[in-house]
Amino acid sequence: MDILFELGEATAAQIVDRLPEPSSNSSTRILLSILEEKGHLTHRLEGGRFIYTPTLELESAKRSALAHLKKIFFGGSASQVVAALLDDPDLTETERTELATLIEQARKEGR
């Protein structure tokens, strides 16, 4: 799904080429079929090839992925997620300030 969100649409072969771990074209097609059955993507036939497109809105996918990540890796704790972000050595001072501003804004809005 990451690759489809990045490219907007892609063939199975294009997806396989961008995967970080080697995968067979048939395994990828099976996974794409499952994702299509679940309603996460759709395809159209073009020149004898299936072109896959995500059906989920990116923001919806982000929320779902974050909720899953928070549940599985952080025991459902948003504060542990933020703590992990703050421990990121690549986090810039600008990003730290942005996080603090977002937290303060959420507090003021009662979120």
Q: Where are the domains of the chain?
A: 2-54, 58-108
Single out the residue of 70, 39, 71 nearest to residue 53, CA to CA.
Answer: 39
| CA–CA separation, 94 and 82 (whole Å) | 15
10-residue stretch averages of pLDDT, the chain, 111 residues long: 93 92 87 94 95 92 92 95 93 94 93 84
Single out the residue of 14, 8, 19, 13 nearest to residue 53, CA to CA.
Answer: 8
- Which residue stretches of the chain are H helix? 2-7, 12-18, 25-37, 58-74, 78-86, 93-108
- Residue 7: which residues within 8 A CB-CB, separation 6 or more? 14, 18
pLDDT of residue 98: 94
pLDDT of residue 55: 94
pLDDT of residue 21: 87
Please tell us whether the domain made up of 2-54 is placed in CATH 1.10.10.10. yes
pLDDT of residue 73: 96
pLDDT of residue 25: 82
Task: Look up residue 31 and give its DSSP letter.
Answer: H
Single out the residue of 3, 40, 41, 43 nearest to residue 20, CA to CA.
Answer: 3
